[in-house]
Structure 1
Amino acid sequence: MIALLRGTVVERRADQVVLLTAGGVGYAVGCSATTLAALPGSGEVELLCHLAVREDAMTLYGFGTPAERDLFHLLVGVQAVGPKMALAVLSGGTPDEIAAGIAAGDAKRLQQAPGIGKRLAERIVSELQEKLAGHATLGGGVGVPAGIGDPGSPVGEAREGLLGLGLPLAEVDALLAVAHGETAAELIADALRRSRA
């Protein structure tokens, strides 16, 4: 099983990169638009990987973060969602944004991905909504609080406020997953107390 690759990007395509490793082997790795956009123009890169094995092919998929890889695994676990469709969904935003949208039941957001129709989007929400609710974790145990993808919600406003204070995204999401409060101000205050504890 190939779980991680480190090497130099020698070729970029619309949906994949060719990564030349230290052993002189070049791997074609399918990636979401989010991961492709984050890859540097030169130098060594590291991608977490998933190897999909079928009768007629072995295909590598790469991810820039554990959260993206974990969400990919959840998506391909849904009936009729293959790796390419999962990458299309992942190309629609950050893992946190997509997970929050699914947790909120936002099937229309998923329909923006190529190949995802209304029925399939509703199936994804139906099968994953509970798993991605406030207690769900993506990559390294970071919680995905309900409402975090909605900038107008108290949690969304608190997230923006904490990010504005310079806290890292992963820490902000972890703090908001356990913070208590009804308003954005209360959530921020509780999250800051917890970060100093």
Structure 2
Amino acid sequence: MIALLRGAVHERGQGSVVLLTPGGVGYVLNCSNTTLAALPAAGQDTTLLCHLAVREDALTLFGFGSEPERDLFHLLLTVQAVGPKLALAVLSSGGPDEVATSIASGDAKRLQQVPGVGKRTAERIVSELQDKLAGRSAVGTGTGSAARGVVTATPTDEARDGLLGLGLSPEEVETLLAVAHGDTAAAIIADALRRSRS
């Protein structure tokens, strides 16, 4: 699992950036407009949180400039019919606070303005996530991602995503997570993989 990448901004594209890591490897990360706008100039270092989407025919990296944005991305992925690209399109329609507030307030019409999001999908996003985001503090009234309207993923949640990304079945993942230990997602994954081989 690739949790984050640090490197120099090498090249910006439409909806993506190439990050050149110290080892000389360049990674293409798909990013929201919010993250792209906050990136430093070419040649300067930055750190992006990551999500690796695994398909049979492709491995796609998504990059996020903040925990709230990444956490909201993960929440959007729990909605039926919302994949990584559509979730990123939703995040590109505004900052994570603005998007979370729209969902919490039940503003499905605003979500329909996002390319690729129809009425049914917008209503599904609101119905499935409104309760998870409602009642959370607005920007400036607290600290941390929860205070900015986003549920922070636990190390176990991140480990679950990582194990699923490695190709394990949901049943295998839940069985391993029931016995694996660790303070971080990486530690939990490492322990789970050791147990899977035993």
Q: TM-score, normalised by structure 2?
A: 0.70
CA positional deviation for 1:175: 9.8
Give the residue type in structure 2 aligned to 1:93.
G
Within-5 A mapping of 1:112-131:
112-131=113-132
Question: Could you say which residue in structure 2 is the equivalent of 1:34?
Answer: 34
**CA distance in structure 2 between the partners assigned to 1:16 and 1:111 by the alignment:** 23
Query: In the TM superposition, what is the alpha-carbon distance from 1:93 to its structure 2 partner?
Result: 1.2
Aligned residue for 2:50?
49
Q: Secondary structure at the match of 1:35?
A: helix
Determine the structure 1 residue equivalent to 2:82. Answer: 81
**1:93-145 Cα deviation digits (max 9, x unpaired):** 111111111010000111111100111000000100011111xxxxxxxxx33
Pair 1:72–1:174, CA change in 2 (3 A): closer
2:12 is the counterpart of 1:12: yes
1: CA distance, partners of 2:147 / 2:98: 14
Please state how far the C-alpha of 1:170 moved relative to its aligned partner. 4.0
After superposition, residues 129-148 of structure 1 pair within 5 angstroms as 129-134=130-135, 144-145=136-137, 148=138
Other structure's SS at 1:129 match: helix
What code does the residue aligned with 1:32 have?
S
Which structure's relative contact order is higher, taking Cα pairs within 8 Å and 6+ residues apart?
2
How far apart, CA to CA, are the structure 2 residues paired with 1:116 and 1:38?
25
In the TM superposition, structure 1's runs of 4+ consecutive aligned residues that sit over 3 Å from their partners are: 173-176
Residue ranges of structure 1 left out of the alignment (5+ in a row): 135-143, 149-158, 177-197
Residue identity (%): 68
Once the 2 structures are TM-superposed, how far is the Cα of residue 174 of structure 1 from its aligned partner? 3.7
In structure 1, distance between residues paired with 2:54 and 2:147: 34
2:32, 2:143 → 1: CA distance? 20
Number of aligned pairs? 148
Structure 2, unpaired ranges of 5+ = 150-198
Distance 1:50 1:69 in 2: 8
Partner SS state of residue 20, structure 2: strand
Alignment-derived partner of residue 104 in structure 2: 103
In 2: Cα distance, 1:109 partner to 1:175 partner: 19
- TM-score, length of structure 1 as denominator length: 0.70
Partner residue in 2 for 1:23: 23
User: What letter matches 2:21 in structure 1?
Assistant: T
